[in-house]
Amino acid sequence: MFQRAKAVVVCANGSETPRLLLMSKSSQFPQGLANSNGLVGKYLMVDAGYEVHGTFEHPLNEYKSIQATRAIHDFYEPDPKRGFHGGGGIDARFDFYPASFALTGLPPDAPRWGHQWKAMVGKNFNRTMSLLAHATCLAREQNSISLDPNMKDPSGLPAMRVTFDFHPDDVRNMKFLLDRQMEILEAAGALKAWPDTSEESLLPHNHLLGTCRMGDDPKTSVVNRNHRAHDVPNLFLVDGSSLVTACCQPTCTIQALAYRASDHIAQQARQNNI
């Protein structure tokens, strides 16, 4: 299907936006749309951090109503005294439904089946809360979204290939925040606290950022300060892919930039510049 338009706005996040551009090859754009400098898909960043859980003596009612979160930014600003670059926020929440809590919400030494397991699920469900860190992530060119040369998706299109590894500073930062998370639960009076430090918990799956970075120089960026692609004047990329640093919990920043980009697009349309 084809739709003619004066302007196209792509908002498919830091993964599907570069994938779509990379698949949109032509004689004019042999490396993919808006990718004359080869930067589309590179500098992938994620919102990562460990999660810790704690059980308390009295009911918390965390499961009721909307899952509101409470975040602190006491450790957001980098501090050279820590010995690494970066910081992050710490977010208090309860992300479990009963079934998922029964599978993964109990302490690691809890029984996994039987009467004791059932009793512990019933008791702990309303007495457990979690702290989730949102650590900064350094932008590295080798961390990327690309097209798999062999694997296809169900539609027969090239599947997404994610190449990612944390910088040593990112790991030290996350471990620093993990210690702070444990301290907070202890100060809050948790009867028991434990971290989820499995490799699966750190997979790059949340808030994918940076793969179509913003900048004034077309040689080192994909879009300009107004989210307009340097190579394609009527193409706008308005999502987390434009960010050049990984702020913790970037949703509000992305929303603010989207409002700003919308004002610019409307203004340019009124001036017949699109």
More confident residue, 198 or 91: 91
Q: Which fold has domain 8-45+209-270?
A: FAD/NAD(P)-binding domain (3.50.50)
Cβ pair 86, 169 in contact under 8 A: yes
8: pLDDT confidence band, cut at 50, 70 and 90? very high
Q: What is the mean pLDDT of the chain?
A: 93
Distance CA 83, CA 151 (A): 41
Give residue-wise pLDDT tens across range 47-69: 889 999 999 999 998 888 777 67
| Single pTM value for the model | 0.90
DSSP label at residue 172:
H
Residue type (1 letter), 130 = S
Give residue-wise pLDDT tens across range 196-225: 877 766 665 678 999 999 999 999 999 999
Give residue-wise pLDDT tens across range 134-151: 999 999 999 999 999 999
239: left (phi over 0), alpha (psi -120 to 50) or beta: beta
Query: Burial letters for 101-135: b for 16+ Cβ neighbours within 10 Å, e otherwise?
Result: bbeebbeeeeeeeeeeeeebbeebbbbbbbbbbbb
Give residue-wise pLDDT tens across range 221-249: 999 999 999 999 999 999 999 999 987 78
Distance CA 170, CA 84 (A): 8
* Residue-range domain boundaries for the chain: 8-45+209-270, 51-139+165-202
The mean per-residue pLDDT over the stretch 90-97 comes to 88
Residue type (1 letter), 74 = D
Strand-pair category, 8-10 with 235-237: parallel
